[in-house]
Amino acid sequence: MPRKLHNALTAMKVKSAKPGRHADGGGLQLLVKESGARSWVYRYMIAGKSRDLGLGPAAGAGAIPLSEARDLADALRLKVKSGIDPLSERQQEAAEALAAAQSAKIAGITFKASAEAYIAANKPSWRNAKHRQQWENTLATYAYPLIGDLPVAEIDTPHVLKIIEPIWQEKTETASRLRGRIETVLDSAKARGFRQGENPARWRGHLAQILPARKRLSRGHHKAMAYDAIPAFVAQLRERDAVAALALEFAILTAARTGEVIGATWNEIDLEKAIWTVPAERMKAGKEHRVPLSPRVVEILASRQGLDGEHCFASLNGEKLSGMAMAMLLRRMKQDVTVHGFRSAFRDWAAECTGYSHEVAEMALAHTIGNATERAYRRGDLFDKRRRFMGEWAIYCTSGSAAVAIEKCNVEPIRAKA
């Protein structure tokens, strides 16, 4: 029977031992690697399995002396005798330390920091500047003062209700959008591992059981001018010497949206071919839109050429026209309609006074047509038909007399000209 080792190593052997394992007795071993690195290992048996537990370096910076290594091995041996697995214990302690560190990190992630991170990550994909501003403003006004500095992991239903309830009845739309934004921020924080559990801002199946059903706003449609009144109105527009008047006439004749018009730049315009190409990033549907330009629209643009600014309808300081400029012009002209309403008037005119198909009219308005399958097979944009169509619309709008325009529709249908 082999003799049990006991204190077989010496300080000199620790320094001079060759690569391999060198037992000292009682489970303590010196591990020497080919590189010369030396470390202490405690080998023990538990539940019939042999396990190794590293104790630390035996040479170099932070080296553990032989005597201290023996003391560590003695303490571990007592644990093993009492049924404790030192390796499992160390792993559990490491896991607890990691969890504590993560908890401390998460505790430092506030709701405001999470919201700002979400906004910064998603802001480039939001084409509407007003939408970006509303996100920031509603959270800053209502949420940050109450929960901005709280850890996002601790936000619960009472916190959300404290924000939402005071404005739920008086500012219904704001409260609803604010709730949705808080829900989105909390979902984002959960996806990043900063919180767990259900979302306390969720409406269906949660806040819907607490808050009364919100009042639905009666929005109606955008106020529109009757199409038979447009020729006279356009004539009034042409009497005004203002950039906003030219921009509004341009918007009417192209049936374009406000944002598309005020954002139009000269590099989108080809006057020679009479085409305005609006890039996808500026379109509501996210798809490039080609607009045929009637002679009057070309005339409007030609009158703006050579002026300072990259935008076709720049203000006096060279910046693009304000989004409210055309709306304010309508107000000054005592017209109770919206800029967007002229698109509706255009659509009514198309249906009532022309024989152009539904697809042509919808494409002129840059609307998405049909389902995904139909769109996959429809590759063209009916541009030639739309050029004739928009030319006829311009003739109608600039006829100078509603009566004459209506007579042309009734007696000499515009579709006959095509």
Give residue-wise pLDDT tens across range 153-205.
889 999 999 999 999 988 888 899 999 999 999 999 888 888 888 999 999 88
Domain boundary among 105, 137, 155: 105
Highest-pLDDT range among 12-21, 104-113, 207-216, 278-287? 12-21
Residue 312 lies in a domain: yes
Cα–Cα distance for residue pair 362/388, rounded to 1 Å: 15
Q: Identify the residue whose tokens are 């071919």.
A: 273
Residues 115 and 99 placed together within one structural domain of the fold: no
Amino acid 379: pLDDT: 55
User: Are 264 and 391 members of one domain?
Assistant: yes
Strand partners, 32: 20, 38
Total number of domains in the chain: 3
Q: How far is Cα 274 from Cα 263, in angstroms, rounded to an integer?
A: 18
Q: How confident is the model at residue 412 (pLDDT cuts 50, 70, 90)?
A: very low
Evaluate whether residue 379 is within a structural domain.
yes
Q: What percent of the chain has pLDDT over 70?
A: 86
Residues 83 and 117 in one domain: no
- Residue 402: pLDDT band (50, 70, 90) is very low
- Which of these ranges, 144-148, 223-227, 316-320, 375-379, has the smallest mean pLDDT? 375-379
* pLDDT value, residue 105: 59
The pLDDT score that the predictor gives to residue 376 is 47
Q: In what helix (H) or strand (E) does residue 175 lie, and over which residues does it extend?
A: helix 172-191
What pLDDT digit, counting tens, does each position of 234-248 carry? 999 999 988 999 999
Residues found in the chain: 418
Q: Among all chains, which residue has been given the structure tokens 């709280």?
A: 150
Q: Which residues lie closer than 8 Å to 247 by C-beta, 6 or more apart?
A: 261, 262, 313, 321, 325, 326
Backbone angles phi, psi at 304, to 5 degrees: -100, -10
CATH value at residue 39: 3.30.160.390
CA distance 52 to 48: 13
Indicate whether 47 pLDDT > 90.
no
Let me know whether 308 and 254 are in one domain. Answer: yes
Select from 14, 15, 16 the least CA-distant residue to 29: 14
Domain-located, residue 180: yes
Q: Supply the CATH number for residue 160's domain.
A: 1.10.150.130
DSSP sequence for 258-273: HHHHHT-BGGGEETTT
Determine the pLDDT at residue 102.
65
**So what's the pLDDT on residue 413?**
43
211 — alpha (psi -120 to 50), left (phi > 0) or beta? beta
* 2 vs 298 pLDDT, higher one: 298
Q: Is the pLDDT of residue 327 over 80?
A: yes
Q: In this structure, is residue 356 part of a structural domain? A: yes
Q: What pLDDT is recorded for position 301?
A: 92
Looking at the structure, tell me whether residues 260 and 395 fall in a common domain.
yes
Question: Residues 163, 169, 175, 179: what is their CA dihedral angle, to the nearest 10 degrees?
Answer: 70
For the stretch 384-393, pLDDT in tens is 999 999 999 9
In this prediction, residue 26 carries a pLDDT of 86
Hey, how many other C-beta atoms are within 10 angstroms of the C-beta on 337? 20
Instruction: Confirm whether 62 is domain-assigned.
Output: yes
Least confident of 2-11, 170-179, 273-282: 2-11
Q: What angle do CA 403, 409, 412 make, to 5 degrees?
A: 110
In tens, the pLDDT along 77-102 reads: 898 888 888 888 888 877 877 766 66
Per-chain mean pLDDT for the chain: 84
pLDDT of 219 over the 80 cut = no
- 181 sits in the region (left: phi over 0; alpha: psi -120 to 50; else beta) called alpha
Q: Is residue 3 part of a domain?
A: no
The Cα 201–Cα 207 span in angstroms is 7
* Residue 283: DSSP 8-state: S
State the CATH number of the domain containing residue 334.
1.10.443.10
What domain range is 79 assigned to?
Answer: 11-105
Mark which of 49, 79, 105 sits at the end of a domain. Answer: 105
Tens-place pLDDT, residues 10-28: 889 889 899 999 999 888 9
pLDDT of residue 411: 43
Q: At what angle do helices 66-81 and 86-107 cross, to 10 degrees?
A: 100
User: What pLDDT digit, counting tens, does each position of 139-157 carry?
Assistant: 999 999 999 989 888 899 9
pLDDT of amino acid 381 = 74
